[in-house]
A and B are shown apart, each in its own frame.
Chain A
Amino acid sequence: MSDDTGHDPKKSRRDMLKAIGVGAGLLLLPIGRVKADKDDKTADPDYDWEKHYWGYAVDTTKCIGCLACMRACRAENDVPAGYVRTWVERYSISADGTVRVDCAKDEMKGFEEVKDEPVKSFFVPKICNHCEKSVCNQVCPVGAAYRTKDGVVLVDTQRCIGCGYCVQACPYGSRFINPTTHTADKCTLCYHRITKGMQPACVQACPKGARIFGDLADKKSPLSILLRQRRYRLLKPEMGTHPKCYYIGLDREVI
């Protein structure tokens, strides 16, 4: 910057800025490449994510608690033991109003036998709500939690640092740190299947049609028709997360 050196100060400043620009560009280059590679592996080449907006519905009145969905999910997605991407909660309400909630610890064995006689009992299957304003996306410090244009919340496992902030933040308990990859893990709505025109594994496995997957962008899709015909509720709407998993026949006890 000093004039006595004979350099034109403006020119050297411009050169420096240019060098910084090129340096920054070089730094950003590999990031773009990683994302491109990843997309190539999972998506169908003809698939256009601008044309879809995926949603999910659960008809709790149909679920029989057989846990075929959990088995299908574990087999399809290689979910480590002790963790779940989808699960089924059982609500038993006794005559005095006590509410008991439990889950099957092992989907191969099913629910434990109920000894007392509940006056009311039902099952609530749960998955990631693929929220429009997801908390996990907000709190991820490196942007590894992201939403695709077709409305699916995914984890960039190449980018995730495994800090667990998203796991702490999700109000639905949908996320966990995968003990094998040490990165955040969650339901992907079987993105590798739905982008090829297939159903998520849990939906396909359900013998009662309690899980309904579909395209909210297509007004004639079974999901869109169902949501027009039936009354539904969302889980924890007060969290302001705008979940995209719609529950039919949800009772007030459900958390």
Chain B
Amino acid sequence: MNFVFPNEAHVTWSVMIVLYPYITGLVAGAFIVSSLYHVFGRNELKAVSRFSLASAFVFLLFAPIPLQVHLGHPERSLNILITPNFSSAMAGFGFIYNSYLLLVVLEIWFVMRSDFIARAKGKGLVPFICRAVLLFNLHEDDATRRADHRIAKFLAGLGIPMACLLHGYVGFLFGSLKSNPWWSTALMFVIFIFSAIVSGISVLIFHYFVVSKINRWRIDQGCVRAMGRYLWGFMIIAVALELLEILSIAYKQTEEWEVLDQLIKQKLMITYVVLQFGVFSLVPFLMLAISALFKLGDRLTNALVWTSATMLLLAMIWLAIPSSGGHVNAGVRAEHRIDVSIGSATVYVNGRRLGQTPVTYVGTAGEVIEIEVRLQGYATRHERIEVRPNGTTTLTMEAQRSSESQRKLP
């Protein structure tokens, strides 16, 4: 018995809701890279440490846009901040988001204060903006530099749990989606964090090469190699966790698996299995392994690291958009009734016998199936139908004039 309430046949949460965790993933990942330098002293990442902060800031500013697009009344979105209902998990969004934004802004301010001071001298718009950002205090000596450095280190340390909170919170919201078996797992939080780090490092590598090329900067080879190694390590964990999650659902063979199995074998075969795991995970894994384990020339290393970062970035988009959108849409179980105008015919779905009409096909919403309907004395019908919740397809059977059975009739 699989029945979807009439109102639930409509999809309320779709692609725009899914884009948000993808972007916060980039933010959290990029921030963690900068923290690796600022807090854990990974000096090989110095070249991208400030760059990663700027990336985190830009992505964070953009993150609420898809959410705004999703809302029925974006002009009222500030209500979440003005009149929050604290019993709702979503009411925390504005506070978590804004405190993280504040933290990133402060971190950038303390890390880049010297750069702002250098640019604040002279006349014109840019120096004036720099002076305004510095609150018109251009004083700098060794003591202020030490203080700035100390505060930046503290903020970067604070930023790691905050990044986990920002991103894990989204995981929590999604985990409460009752319509989605794929997401409601305790592993979701950990998967979210690790895929965030992977996409964060990937986007940094991608941008670092592009921006260096445009500005004709000299690429820091040590930094690239280090990022390649980190990317390799974190992607192994992220992909392993994702596989582990599916394996555990598959092994338990619960009702959820019936839905996911069909989803993976039919609708997501190309995007999920072939492209995401086959092409966009295995290939970067091999390329990164080669660049990490063998001593290669700079140009070859750069090419391998950049290509795999770009591929992983695409893989994460793939993970976020079509498959998850697919989870939301197609994860809804649908019961589609197949019937004929006369008698009781035999229905075959994708070549397999389903049963005698009226028969109900249980699948996932949006799935397209090929049916064959056979009834003795009538022309066999072949149809492609889209499975809808509570959908019904009634086929008109036409008598086969020249068939054996008719001729035998008295």
Contact = CB atoms under 8 A, between A and B. Distances in A.
A and B associate in one complex: yes
Interface of A: 27, 31, 82-84, 87, 89, 98-103, 105, 112, 115-116, 126, 137-144, 159-165, 167-169, 171-177, 181-183, 253, 255
B329 to A, nearest CB: 14
Contact of B79 (A83, A142, A182): A142
Q: Which of A89, A163, A176, A183: most chain B CB closer than 10 A?
A: A163
B1 A115 contact: no
A180 to B, nearest CB: 10
Contacts, number: 118
Nearest to B360: A100
A24 B282 CA distance: 56
The 5 A-B residue pairs with the shortest CB-CB distance, nearest first, are A162-B72, A173-B5, A182-B72, A141-B90, A101-B3
Nearest to B328: A168
Contacts of A27: 82
A241 to B, nearest CB: 13
Nearest to B91: A141
B177 A168 contact: yes
Contacts of A177: 10, 12, 72
Contacts of A161: 71-74, 76-77, 79-80
A164 B13 contact: yes
B80 A142 contact: yes
Interface residues of B, number: 41
A162 B68 CA distance: 10
B390 interface: yes
Contacts of B372: none
A105 B177 contact: no
B83 A142 contact: yes
26 contacts: A27-B82, A83-B10, A87-B6, A99-B1, A101-B3, A102-B337, A112-B392, A115-B357, A126-B5, A138-B88, A141-B79, A141-B80, A141-B88, A142-B85, A143-B83, A160-B76, A161-B76, A163-B72, A163-B90, A164-B12, A164-B13, A173-B4, A175-B7, A176-B10, A177-B10, A255-B3
Given A100-B360, A101-B3, A172-B5, A160 B73 contact: yes
Contact of B7 (A98, A105, A176, A253): A176
Nearest to A173: B5
Nearest to A182: B72
Contact of A160 (B72, B177, B337): B72
Given A140-B85, A168-B177, A84 B6 contact: yes
Interface string B2-37: 011111101011000000000000000000000000
B93 interface: yes
Contacts of B390: 102-103, 105
B87 A162 contact: no
A183 B73 contact: yes
Nearest to B357: A115
